[in-house]
């Protein structure tokens, strides 16, 4: 089974092992070693910093048209290479091949969107009080960016960060996910082939805490962007704050789904089952707390369990697989902990509830009903193939329950009533609300959370905001 050769990418050069320390890469479906990832040495990281600082000085002066051309070409290459990159993702991350390939194809759109929008990073002219004065506002790239992308969407999360940084005129040092690195190495090759000047993008690997410590400690880095857990995000944001570095944080979520009595129940069940178990539930916007109104509760639960029970679980490379393994062994234990806690508190495990015996990090798609409000599953992000279902009586009551956690990323509502739709769209404390469908994470729409789910948006016209400084210039003639 061919798996791509892994490397660092520093100052336009791909660096393979060369005696460096590193780690084995496992296929989570078979637990077999598929590759070896070299870790950056201290010298490699210093070189990446120097290269990024040097490249920034010229890239910040590049024309928007030039940046746009590189991003557009990168988008074309993503589409052309989607098959091979997708295969690599399935081998090191585990998701079904159709999902992996779909992830890469959707990134073609993200690169294209950034190619289009970077030509529209405008300043403005502010009419002055004195006719002899000219007042302008300029938007300038923040500088060298340290980016940290996660393993659940190894390609798309890296693409969003890198495209925004490059489009804004910044240079980047990206530490990708060591658990699922092949897509990020492929991304470096794409930008290399698309003609990005050397040093504008650098890829490093290592022990996450050591790499982030060094990069955040450097005065060269002016901004950090991180996608991952809330706990790590808070720690990195605190370090960044102590040096006044800019931050974009895409952190954990615990998305409520509110299904009202007046919803189209069949449509809700159909779309929610597919969405819940996508990427084995390892998605920050995965629906996790299902609040179902009492009038349709039994019908919803029966339909949800039947559809979930029909999901085909297996190796992501096998034909027809709808859900693959969890990305790492530690996730199996973490998900089991949520189920055990629910059982101990008297909830009903209606389906699944245990790891799948045999090789691979598989956990059965799990549905748990009648959860007490204190259960871990209703309070902490499960990040796995577990759906917790609870009933509610009134919309006001469920709004308060949905808003009761510190998270605020995605939320979902199913209702045919405009009154309810308005109540939830204005009342839910979340960065994103999707009503009667699952319409998040498109290139042209902003993606981001509030409160413990982070700060800043990726995608949409907001995508460059975190990568630009505002400069005011006033001139008296």
Contact footprint for ligand NAD (CB under 6 A) = 148, 150-152, 177, 208-209, 212, 227-229, 231-232, 236, 250-252, 284, 330, 381, 383
* Residue 209 or 416 having the CB closest to ligand NAD: 209
Q: How far is the CB of 395 from ligand NAD (least distance, A)?
A: 29
Distance between CA 78 and CA 174 in Å, rounded? 18
Instruction: Report residue 285: phi and psi, to 5°.
Output: -100, 15
- Pair 9, 66: CB distance under 8 Å: no
Q: How far is the CB of 421 from ligand NAD (least distance, A)?
A: 27
* Residue 362 or 407 having the CB closest to ligand NAD: 407
Catalytic residue among 260, 284, 380, 381: 284
284 catalytic, yes or no?
A: yes
The CA dihedral of 251, 345, 268, 327, to the nearest 10 degrees, is 40
What is the total residue count of the chain?
A: 477
* Residue 182 or 293 having the CB closest to ligand NAD: 182
Catalytic residue among 99, 112, 117, 250: 250
Q: How far is the CB of 133 from ligand NAD (least distance, A)?
A: 46
Q: How far is the CB of 167 from ligand NAD (least distance, A)?
A: 22
Q: How far is the CB of 381 from ligand NAD (least distance, A)?
A: 5
Distance between CA 191 and CA 200 in Å, rounded? 10
* Residue 112 or 179 having the CB closest to ligand NAD: 179
Distance between CA 333 and CA 294 in Å, rounded? 33
* Residue 284 or 342 having the CB closest to ligand NAD: 284
- Return the residue matching tokens 């990040």: 383
Distance between CA 113 and CA 116 in Å, rounded? 5
Active site residues: 250, 284
């Amino acid at each position: 089974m061919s798996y791509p050769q892994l490397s660092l990418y520093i100052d336009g050069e791909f660096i393979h092992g060369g005696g460096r320390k590193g780690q084995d890469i496992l296929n989570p479906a078979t637990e077999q070693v598929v590759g070896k990832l070299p870790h950056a040495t201290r010298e490699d990281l210093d070189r990446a910093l120097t290269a990024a600082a040097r490249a920034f000085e010229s890239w910040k002066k590049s024309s928007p048209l030039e940046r746009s051309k590189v991003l557009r070409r990168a988008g074309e290459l993503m589409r052309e290479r989607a098959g091979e990159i997708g295969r690599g993702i399935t081998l090191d991350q585990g998701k079904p091949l159709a999902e992996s390939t779909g992830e890469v194809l959707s990134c073609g759109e993200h690169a294209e969107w950034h190619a289009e929008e970077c030509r529209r990073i405008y300043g403005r002219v502010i009419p002055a009080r004195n006719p002899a004065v000219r007042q302008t506002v300029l938007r300038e790239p923040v500088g060298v960016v340290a980016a940290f992308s996660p393993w659940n969407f190894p390609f798309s999360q890296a693409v969003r960060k890198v495209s925004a940084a490059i489009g804004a005129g910044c240079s980047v040092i990206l530490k990708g996910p060591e658990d699922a690195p092949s897509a990020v190495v492929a991304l470096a090759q794409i930008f290399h082939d698309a003609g990005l000047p050397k040093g504008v993008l650098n890829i490093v690997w290592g022990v996450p805490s050591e790499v982030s410590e060094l990069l955040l400690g450097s005065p060269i880095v002016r901004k950090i962007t991180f996608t991952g857990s809330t706990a790590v995000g808070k720690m990195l944001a605190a370090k960044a704050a102590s040096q006044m570095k800019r931050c974009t944080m895409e952190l954990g979520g615990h998305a409520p789904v509110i299904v009202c009595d007046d919803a189209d129940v069949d449509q809700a069940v159909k779309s929610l089952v597919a969405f819940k178990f996508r990427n084995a539930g390892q998605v920050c916007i995965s629906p996790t707390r299902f609040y179902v109104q009492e009038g349709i509760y039994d019908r919803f639960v029966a339909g949800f369990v039947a559809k979930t029970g029909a999901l085909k679980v297996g190796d992501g490379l096998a034909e027809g697989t709808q859900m693959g393994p969890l990305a790492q062994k530690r996730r199996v234990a973490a998900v089991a902990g949520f189920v055990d806690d629910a059982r101990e508190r008297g909830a009903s495990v209606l389906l699944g509830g245990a790891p799948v015996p045999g090789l691979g990090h598989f956990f059965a798609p799990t549905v748990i009903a009648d959860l007490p409000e204190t259960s871990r599953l209703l309070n902490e992000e499960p990040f796995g193939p577990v759906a917790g279902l609870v009933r509610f009586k009134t919309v006001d009551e469920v709004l308060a329950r949905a808003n009761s956690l510190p998270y605020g990323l995605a939320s979902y509502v199913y209702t045919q009533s405009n009154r309810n739709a308005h109540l939830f769209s204005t009342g839910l404390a979340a960065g994103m609300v999707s009503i009667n469908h699952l319409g998040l994470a498109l290139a042209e729409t902003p993606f981001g959370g509030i409160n413990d789910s982070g700060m800043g948006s990726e995608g949409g016209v907001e995508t460059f905001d975190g990568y630009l400084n505002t400069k005011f210039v006033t001139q008296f003639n």
